[in-house]
Structure 1
Amino acid sequence: MNTANRADAEHDTIIADTVDWLEKAVIGLNLCPFAKAVHVKKQIRYVVSAASTPEQLLQELMDELQTLSDSDPQAVDTTLLIHPYVLNDFLDYNEFLDVADAALEDMDLAGELQVASFHPQYQFADTAVDDIGNYTNRSPYPTLHLLREDSIERAVEAFPDAADIFEKNIETLEALGHEGWNKLGLPAAK
């Protein structure tokens, strides 16, 4: 198998792991009540970044932000930019989120798009590393979720208790526990 085919096969596995997580955790546990519709309509763009430096990732992020902004929302409503080769340390990843927000501002896309964050080691402030609540944002690979503000607003209108989602997610995960999470059969964090 040549290098390009090996990379394509690896990227296919990365996307398959991400879709599995989306279906079993995000949609299956209803952690995001808005995710099912865009998944069913195939409006999620999955991009595996080959970036190995934050600078390369920033360029790809900017390209994907522009692509999402330019795309018809009926075709591409949201993008998952999966970056398995860079920012594997959560603290480095977390610092990069400020860079991502600055890119939105620099591109005049703040207010149109936003970036949400998922990481295999995700940890909310003031929580223990193994706190089950952190799993609301734990994905198989570091991932930047690019969202349209309009889509979020429509989803919030359709889901009147949107402000309660975070608390409901914590309750869901606490009831599930680590053992229940492990039974979902999700790929181990990479």
Structure 2
Amino acid sequence: MSHAEIIQTTQHWLEQAVIGLNLCPFAKSVYVKNQIRYVVSDAKHLDGFLDDLDRELDFLQQTPADEVDTTLLIHPSLFPDFAIFNDVQALAEDIVVEHELDGILQVASFHPDFQFADTEPSDISNYTNRAPYPILHLIREDSIAKAVAAFPNPDVIFERNIATLEKIGLAGWLTLGLKASGQ
């Protein structure tokens, strides 16, 4: 699959799930302003992927937020196992600290088999963080703070997202042209 196809699939997920279902009320503004950077990693091993992460952290540090607000670092095939990718996210958080960007950037993760603790793999609540590929989302904390200030009761977002997904169920998810886990 080409980088363009991977990015197109990722954008479809953003449009249909993240923005379309309003899973992240802050995503639409950076999306419509074209402030999301999509980076597809071709790394053959973890070290190469972490090198890509280093480059993206440096890029965001050197680039004004009004040009690029956030980066989605995507690897379509290196991390098929969610538990391993979850460990990669922990490494990524440590690398943010090493770059002295703690409090400036943070990392969120998405994965085709994302699973919250104390849930079953098939629980629809896991779909709030399911994406077509493993993705590290590098987010500027200033942008989060501005978005949270403009959004009343940000604490309810997670519960609202679960309620939305429970309402539409897996069938509704699939009608959006999104894959279910393991497909």
- What TM-score comes out, normalization by structure 2 length? 0.96
Q: 1:119-176: CA deviations, max 9, x gaps? A: 0000000000000000000000000000000000000000021111000000000001
Task: Specify the alignment match of 1:186 in structure 2.
Answer: 178
In structure 2, C-alpha distance between the alignment counterparts of 1:52 and 1:188, rounded to whole Å: 26
1:112 equivalent to 2:104? Answer: yes
What is the Cα deviation at residue 52 of structure 1? 2.0
In structure 1, C-alpha distance between the alignment counterparts of 2:165 and 2:63, rounded to whole Å: 35
**8 A Cα contact 2:41 2:74, kept in partner:** yes
Task: Specify the alignment match of 1:4 in structure 2.
Answer: none
1:24 equivalent to 2:12? Answer: no
1:64 equivalent to 2:56? Answer: yes
* 1:137 maps to which of 129, 143, 167: 129
What is the Cα deviation at residue 188 of structure 1? 5.7
Rate the CA distance shift 1:188–1:133 in 2: closer, same or farther, 3 A: closer
Q: How does 1:1-190 map to 2 (within 5 A)?
A: 10-187=2-179
Moved over 3 A (4+): 187-190
**8 A Cα contact 2:125 2:165, kept in partner:** yes
RMSD: 1.1
Where 2:132 maps in the other structure, the secondary structure is: coil
Where 1:115 maps in the other structure, the secondary structure is: strand
Deviating more after overlay: 142-151 vs 88-97: 88-97
What's the % identity of the aligned pairs?
Answer: 55
In structure 2, C-alpha distance between the alignment counterparts of 1:32 and 1:49, rounded to whole Å: 24
What letter matches 1:52 in structure 2?
A: K
**8 A Cα contact 2:38 2:73, kept in partner:** yes
Where 1:165 maps in the other structure, the secondary structure is: helix
In structure 2, C-alpha distance between the alignment counterparts of 1:79 and 1:175, rounded to whole Å: 30
**8 A Cα contact 1:17 1:187, kept in partner:** no
In structure 1, C-alpha distance between the alignment counterparts of 2:62 and 2:85, rounded to whole Å: 26
Where 1:102 maps in the other structure, the secondary structure is: helix
Where 1:145 maps in the other structure, the secondary structure is: strand
Task: Specify the alignment match of 1:5 in structure 2.
Answer: none
Matched length: 182
What is the Cα deviation at residue 187 of structure 1? 4.6
What letter matches 1:123 in structure 2?
A: Q
